[in-house]
Amino acid sequence: MTILSGIQPTSNIHLGNYLGAIRNWVSLSRAQNATPQNSLFCVVDLHAITVAQDPAKLRQAVLEAAAAYLACGLDPAHNSIFVQSHVSGHAELGWILGCQTPLGWLYRMTQFKDKAGKDRDNSGLGLLAYPALMAADILLYKATQVPVGEDQKQHVELTRDIAGAFNHQFGENFFPLPEPLMMGEATRVMSLRDGTKKMSKSDASDQSRLNLLDDADTIADKIKRAKTDPDALPSDAAGLANRPEARNLLTIYAAVQGKSLADVLPEVGGGQFSGFKAKLTAALVDHLPPIGQRMQQLLADKAYLQQVLTTGAANANAIAKPTLQGVMELMGLR
Ligand code: AQP
């Protein structure tokens, strides 16, 4: 088993990124007593530039993402932690796979439709080509498992199609077909302002998300203002139908404690949101600020962060090079 995943350094890392992705990376990595050769986590800066970025903010966001990985418990002795653009094979294989990917497959991707919106002729080519680069991220290391939140499942499935088409044309079984892995209760954390919208770094409202760097007061304030509905909380899952905000807050409450919805519904069912919000705040304040504090400590030691990223990129490069060479030989480029 080889694990690969990543996060875009587009802005603040939030609770959705944590519950849907990073926390699961840590548990997978620990469960398989990972090595830097079979467990790779990158900060996908080349994906971030598919939409406009401020250079200084991007540079800082890359370090914040790396600090988040470490603060959440990824051990650099057991995992390759690196920046995507530091391993040139990502861009090279991304181009090669882009040449093999039909436009129709890319136009079908919901993330492209969401982000390009109605103005798609004005969006960059990179936004459309994003899944071909993501396929390269995964296939460069012949990764077999890709732990992601629900929104990225479609891209991992497209990676399987791209790998399958490549194998069929150039060499049976050159690439393994990677599996998307969605773990835990919170595979899609929703906005605190609108339970039908995904919690997202790019949401204009900071009130819509909980950031890993938020302090206890900010968390309490955001939960206090989080959208609810007028009814009491239900005692069973059927009572959550058509109540997206209630479902989201309860899911967060369960997931942050490592529990399932079924575990927490009997505890809170029948109560009002006001009492529940106090419990939710306490659970979040127990969990998130220690991660944020550890991130701040790491960010104060940039030399250490750079050293982790340099070592990670060297490890990753050593795996990537033979894959790229193999692809080029199969295709007649070498
Ligand atoms: N709301 C979410 N709930 C659960 N998982 C989530 N992920 C993202 N949002 C949620 C998972 O986090 C990992 C990294 O995501 P990404 O940085 O590659 O980009 P994204 O999926 O597009 O996330 P954002 O926050 O919405 O970023 P922007 O706003 O920049 O596009 C992935 O595994 C993702 O599934």
Question: Rounded distance, CA 120 to CA 24, Å?
Answer: 34
How many angstroms separate the alpha carbon of residue 328 from the centre of ligand 1? Answer: 32
Q: What are phi and psi of 241, to 5 degrees?
A: -60, 135
CA–centroid distance, residue 199 to ligand 1 (Å): 8
Mark whether 57 is an active-site residue: no
For ligand 1, the distance from its centroid to the CA atom of residue 189, given in whole angstroms, is 9
* Whether residue 198 lies in the annotated active site: yes
Cβ-in-10-Å burial (0-12, 13-18, 19+) of 150 comes to middle
Residue 14, H or E segment: none
Are 14 and 208 in contact, with CB atoms under 8 Å apart? Answer: no
**291: enclosing H helix or E strand:** helix 273-299
Q: Residue 39 corresponds to which tokens in the numbers above?
A: 């467990």
201: annotated active-site residue: yes
Please answer whether residues 316 and 137 qualify as being in contact, where contact means their C-beta atoms are separated by less than 8 angstroms.
no
pTM for this one? Answer: 0.96
Answer for the pair 135, 162: CB distance below 8 angstroms, yes or no.
yes
Residue nearest to atom 22 of ligand 1 (CA): 200
Query: Atom 35, ligand 1: which residue's CA is nearest?
Result: 149
Indicate which residue's Cα is closest to atom 15 of ligand 1.
7
Whats the size of the chain, residue-wise? Answer: 334
Task: Pick from 84, 152, 208, 209 the residue to mutate for probing ligand 1's pocket: most ligand atoms within 8 Å of its CB.
Answer: 152
CA angle 261, 264, 266 (to 5 degrees): 115
If you ran DSSP here, which 8-state letter would residue 180 be given?
E
pLDDT digit string (tens) for the chain, length 334 residues: 999 999 999 988 999 999 999 999 999 999 999 999 999 999 999 999 999 999 999 999 999 999 999 999 999 999 999 999 999 999 999 999 999 999 999 999 999 999 998 888 999 999 999 999 999 999 999 999 999 999 999 999 999 999 999 999 998 899 999 999 999 899 999 999 999 999 999 899 999 999 999 999 999 999 999 999 999 999 999 999 999 999 999 999 999 999 999 999 999 999 999 999 999 999 999 999 999 999 999 999 999 999 999 999 999 999 999 999 999 999 999 9
Hey, what domains does the chain have and what are their CATH numbers? 3-181+301-331 (3.40.50.620), 206-296 (1.10.240.10)
212 Cα to the center of ligand 1, angstroms: 14
**Helix, coil or strand: residue 257:** coil
- How far is residue 263's CA from residue 236's CA, in Å, rounded to a whole number? 10
Give the amino acid at 218. T
Which one of 142, 198, 222, 227 is the catalytic residue?
198
Q: Are 215 and 290 in contact (CB under 8 A)?
A: no
Residues at CB less than 6 angstroms from ligand 1: 7-8, 10, 16-17, 20-21, 148-149, 151-152, 187-189, 198-202
Query: What residues contact residue 103 under an 8 Å CB cut-off, 6+ apart?
Result: 128
